[in-house]
A and B are shown apart, each in its own frame.
Chain A
């Protein structure tokens, strides 16, 4: 009810502003922008300029340099002198090296880093889908638990958050010892599984460690969304005779969707560029030797022998992650906002 009056007030505002703003495409903060004093704006830009410059140097320059390097050829060995000579411009050669697995004129043989490229992409996507799904379900459950009102709630919340607080390198080493051949996992399960040598066992180990570590993060973000739902709505539904399941699916899920989508997006992007956990636990090995290698591990491996080719790979990784984020925001994000949030501030 209150939300409806807000949206009609907004509509009224927009209606009166229509003729003035028709000349320019309307953006998000337009009403606000009209109210800022130009002098203040200039001062604002000057104040954030140092930060922008710093970001440009620390983030912008390396990214641009990597892209520039990816179009250069790696140094070639001159057989006469035995020394490396500068490589020249390479065009898209570094990219076809990875995408089409071309090593010069032939296909890259097994045992080169490029030969496993698509396999590595698949492994990264596999990790993403499995860990994010598990974390979603478990995180939601934890968030519901943390949202309740009972004694000791503070303690429960703190203990759920502990895995997230431990640095990833420490977590990786912890699980490395747990899953060692003579470690606790094998003792408790009474098995002799080679957790870091068997393909699926190693992947399971990494998934377990990652879900343990990041479910609290999902739970936190979902909890934030849950706490925005006022208790009145639930009471009204109870009065109307809705069952617990109906309350969950018709009230909780839709209202928590924006926070949920944000959490999903963060986690997905995180796992796509995951490096530290699998690198410390298995070094990317297991199975045929490369069955837990993610894209970031492949980049670091390639840097050891060929910088420019590694720059091409990391640019490809960047584009891939960007594509996923784009899909999320364009197709999934927009739907979530319009799909029935509080009042629906439709534009």
Chain B
């Protein structure tokens, strides 16, 4: 009995070991520019699946219905992910790593393009119809000279300010800090962005650093954040927090906390994405209807460098019907679809002409300011090691703001951590 018992255990152990070994070589890495997956399915047509995060406005459902009516043989099915950006990223990684052919077109955040492209998971896109599309948005889908993602929607940060308390918006950071006494007189906070320890802090810290003339990574992805300009930039946030111009609770603010503070009239200046504009004008609980406006972000010597937001469409290298996918990706960039993104989705379009379209001037008055913001936008670091790079920036910027280390040390550690991430991975 004892012998039989251990025999069956040994048999099971022998069963498992080859399983462990055989799963071994499918971890990241397709191989390179001659990745065989790139050639497969390029001319096939058929039904495809479009993957994106949660659709809060219903715009995707309407777009897909339109496409399906026009292309009954190449229907698109939507797969909706969660609302959390990190979970969306992890879901895409899992499916792409398993080379799942079910994911054909994916809505990718700009910061994931380099990572996915470097792992050989994205199909290079040729023959894209890019006339009229904003250049900075097109560039965001480019990695190493090849276009891996096509523009879908854009986004940029703007400065929201109270028109009843401030007549003209500040053009530089020092000007804005000088206006903080107005906030004090009215017993409200002066300035807030998104400074909690999450991706939003990378956005805000990058804007501060880029706005002062610093550069986080250079064109080839090498870390270059250690410079006097970066220190000046980050110092702006650090000093403002020290002086109380950024409220103490500011380090817990994500998008919603800062938006609610501004909407309840408790904040004079807010750095925020465009979605807050219509909410502040139309939401019942808003205390500032008609009492605010938007302006480009203030930099050190002039217009600041907003972080480029938005999403791009990428085609999976393992898709079976790539011809349909290419057509779909081009279709999204057409004017009719972009108009729907503005009216139904409240997103920023990628076609330059739509920003100054008279049809939008009443309900979307922020569009011209947003165009200026996007034209001056600097994308967040384009590097295949983005998760580690964003952690380096967030950890050190957060520590600097809370006064746990000096700004110089924070920038130096940021540089060292980014270099370590690019080497050891």
Q: What residues of chain A have their CB less than 8 Å away from a CB belonging to chain B? A: 33, 38, 41-42, 45, 49, 52-53, 56-57, 60-61, 64-65, 68-69, 72, 74-78, 81-87, 97, 103-104, 106, 108-113, 115, 181, 194, 196-197, 283, 285, 288-290, 301, 303-308
The 8 Å CB contact of B385, one of A97, A288, A305, is A305
B14-55 contacts to A (CB < 8 Å): 15-17, 19-21, 23-25, 27-33, 35
CB distance A83 to B16 under 8 Å?
A: no
Is B399 an interface residue, CB under 8 A from the partner?
yes
Contact A109–B416 (Cβ < 8 Å): yes
- Is B12 located at the chain interface by the 8 A CB criterion? yes
Give CA–CA (A38, B1) in the complex, Å.
7
* Chain B residue at minimal CB-CB distance from A55: B12
What is the distance, in angstroms, from A303's C-beta to the closest C-beta of chain B?
Answer: 8
A64 to B305, CA, bound (A): 48
CA gap between A124 and B13 in the complex, in Å: 33
Contact yes or no, B416 A111, CB < 8 A:
yes
Contact A77 B16 (CB under 8 A): no
Contact A83 B27 (CB under 8 A): no
Contacts of B166 in A (CB 8 A): none
Measured CB to CB, the closest approach of chain B to A43, in angstroms, equals 12
User: Beyond A45-B8, A103-B423, is A112–B28 a contact (Cβ under 8 Å)?
Assistant: no
Chain A residues with CB under 8 Å of B388's CB are: 112-113, 305-306
A146 to chain B, nearest CB (A): 39
Q: CA of A301 to CA of B252 in the docked complex: distance in angstroms?
A: 20
**B425 touches A (CB below 8 Å):** yes
- Of chain B, the residue at the smallest CB distance from A82 is B144
* Contact B5–A86 (Cβ < 8 Å): no
> B27–A72 contact, CB under 8 A?
yes
Contact present for A75 and B4 (CB under 8 Å): no
**Is there an interface contact between B395 and A84, defined as CB atoms closer than 8 Å?**
no
Query: In the assembled complex, how far is the CB of residue A200 from the closest CB belonging to chain B, in whole angstroms?
Result: 14
Known: A75-B425, A104-B420, A288-B398. A42 touches B4 (CB 8 A): yes
Q: Is B108 an interface residue (CB 8 A)?
A: no
Asked if A82 and B424 sit within 8 Å, CB to CB, the answer is no
Question: What does the 1/0 interface line of B371-395 toward A look like (CB < 8 Å)?
Answer: 0000000000000110110011111
State the 10 A-B residue pairs at the shortest beta-carbon distance, nearest first: A111-B417, A109-B416, A111-B392, A82-B144, A305-B387, A285-B197, A103-B420, A289-B398, A289-B197, A110-B413
Say yes or no: is B70 at the interface (Cβ < 8 Å to chain A).
no
**In the complex where A61-B19, A108-B420, A109-B416 touch, is A75 in contact with B8 (Cβ < 8 A)?**
no
Given contacts A78-B32, A103-B423, contact A68 B20 (CB under 8 A): yes
Please determine whether B252 and A196 come into contact, CB atoms closer than 8 angstroms.
yes
Q: How far is the CB of A329 from chain B (nearest CB, A)?
A: 21
Chain A residues whose C-beta falls within 8 Å of the C-beta of B19 in the assembled complex: 61, 65
| Complexed CA–CA distance, A57 and B19 (Å) | 9
Q: List 18 A-B contacts (CB under 8 A).
A: A53-B15, A68-B20, A72-B27, A83-B118, A86-B27, A110-B413, A111-B417, A115-B417, A194-B248, A196-B252, A197-B196, A285-B197, A289-B394, A303-B90, A304-B89, A305-B385, A305-B387, A308-B27
Judged by DSSP, the binding face of B is helix
Total count of chain B residues near the partner, CB < 8 A: 64
Find out whether the CB atom of A84 lies under 8 angstroms from the CB atom of B420: no
From A42, A61, A65, A106, B420 is in contact (CB under 8 Å) with A106
Whether A83 pairs with B31 at a CB distance below 8 angstroms is yes
Interface of chain B residues 111 through 169 with chain A (CB within 8 A): 117-120, 143-144
Interface status of B414 (Cβ within 8 A of chain A) = yes
Indicate if the CB atoms of A75 and B391 lie closer than 8 Å. no
Asked if B286 is an interface residue, CB under 8 A from chain A, the answer is: no
In the bound assembly, the distance between CA atoms of A65 and B17 in angstroms comes to 9
Inside 8 A of A196's CB, which chain B residues have their CB?
A: 252
B241 CB to closest chain A CB (Å) equals 12
Q: Is B422 an interface residue (CB 8 A)?
A: yes
User: Is B16 in contact with A197, judged by CB distance below 8 angstroms?
Assistant: no
Beyond known contacts A42-B4, A77-B118: 8 more, CB 8 A cutoff: A52-B8, A60-B12, A77-B422, A77-B425, A108-B417, A108-B420, A283-B197, A285-B196
Residues of B within 8 A of A53 (CB): 12, 15
Q: Which residues of B contact A75 (CB under 8 A)?
A: 27-29, 119, 425
Contact B25 A86 (CB under 8 A): yes
Note all chain A residues with C-beta closer than 8 A to B118: 77, 82-84
Q: Give A82 to B119 CA distance when docked, in angstroms.
A: 9
Q: Is the CB of A304 within 8 A of B396?
A: no
Cα distance A65–B24 in the bound complex, in angstroms: 8
A contact residues around B396 at 8 Å (CB): 110-111
Q: Which of B4, B27, B391 contacts A111 (CB 8 A)?
A: B391
Residues of A within 8 A of B27 (CB): 69, 72, 75, 86-87, 307-308
In whole Å, how far is B95's beta carbon from the nearest beta carbon of chain A?
Answer: 15
Knowing A84-B384, A304-B89, say if A111 contacts B395 (CB, 8 Å): yes
The answer to whether B252 touches A64 (Cβ under 8 A) is no
Judge whether A288 and B414 touch: CB under 8 Å.
no
Does B287 reach chain A (CB closer than 8 Å)?
A: no
Contact call B32/A283, Cβ cutoff below 8 A: no
Q: Is B421 an interface residue (CB 8 A)?
A: yes
B363 on the A face (CB < 8 A): no
Are A113 and B251 in contact, with the CB atoms below 8 A?
A: no
